[in-house]
Amino acid sequence: MNRRTLLKWSGVASLLTIAGGGTLAAGAKNDNPYYSGPPSDHFDGRIFFNPEGIPPRPFTDLLRWQFGGGRAKWPSSWPSPFPSAKAETLTDESALRVTMVGHATLLIQIAGLSILTDPVWSQRVSPVSFLGPRRVNEPGIAFDDLPPIDVVLLSHNHYDHFDTATLRRLNQAHDPLLVTPLGNDAIVRKDVPGMRIFCGDWGASHELTAPSGKATVHIEPAHHWSARGTGDRRMALWSAFVVETSAGKVYVAGDTGFHRGINYRDAAQKHGGFRLAILPIGAYEPRWFMEGQHQNPDEALEGMHLCNAEFAAGCHWGTFQLTNEAIDEPRDRLHAALDRAGVARERFRPMLPGETWDLPASAT
pLDDT confidence of residue 61: 87
- Per residue in 5-50, pLDDT tens? 443 444 455 555 665 444 333 334 559 999 999 999 999 999 999 9
pLDDT confidence of residue 214: 87
- Residue 351 burial class via C-beta count within 10 angstroms: exposed 0-12, middle 13-18, buried 19 and up: buried
pLDDT confidence of residue 252: 98
Burial state string for 37-55 with b = 16 or more CB within 10 A and e = fewer than 16: eeeeebbeeebbebeebee
pLDDT confidence of residue 26: 36
Instruction: Show the 3-state SS of the chain.
Output: CCHHHHHHHHHHHHHHHHCCCCCCCCCCCCCCCCCCCCCECCECCCCECCCCCCCCCCHHHHHHHHCCCCCCCCCCCCCCCCCCCCCCCCCCCCCEEEEEEECCEEEEEECCEEEEECCCCCCECCCCCCCCCECCCCCCCCHHHCCCCCEEECCCCCCCCCCHHHHHHHHHHHCCEEEEECCHHHHHHHHCCCCEEEEECCCCEEEEEECCEEEEEEEECCCCCCCCCCCCCCCCCCCEEEEEECCEEEEECCCCCCHHHHHHHHHHHHHCCEEEEEEECCCCCCHHHHCCCCCCHHHHHHHHHHCCEEEEEEECCCCCCCCCCCCCHHHHHHHHHHHHHCCCHHHEEECCCCCEEECCCCCC
pLDDT confidence of residue 95: 93
Rounded Cα–Cα distance for residues 342 and 125 (Å): 37
Low-confidence ranges of the chain (pLDDT < 70): 1-30, 363-364
Q: What are phi and psi of 174, to 5 degrees?
A: -130, -20
pLDDT confidence of residue 264: 98
pLDDT confidence of residue 17: 64
pLDDT confidence of residue 52: 94
pLDDT confidence of residue 15: 55
CA distances from 121 to 129, 166, 238, 286 (A): 13, 6, 21, 27
- Find all residues with CB under 8 Å of 203, minimum gap 6, and list them: 218, 219, 220
Largest CA distance in the chain: 61
pLDDT confidence of residue 23: 38
Residue 151, beta-bridge partner list: 115, 177
Q: What are phi and psi of 278, to 5 degrees?
A: -105, 110
pLDDT confidence of residue 42: 98
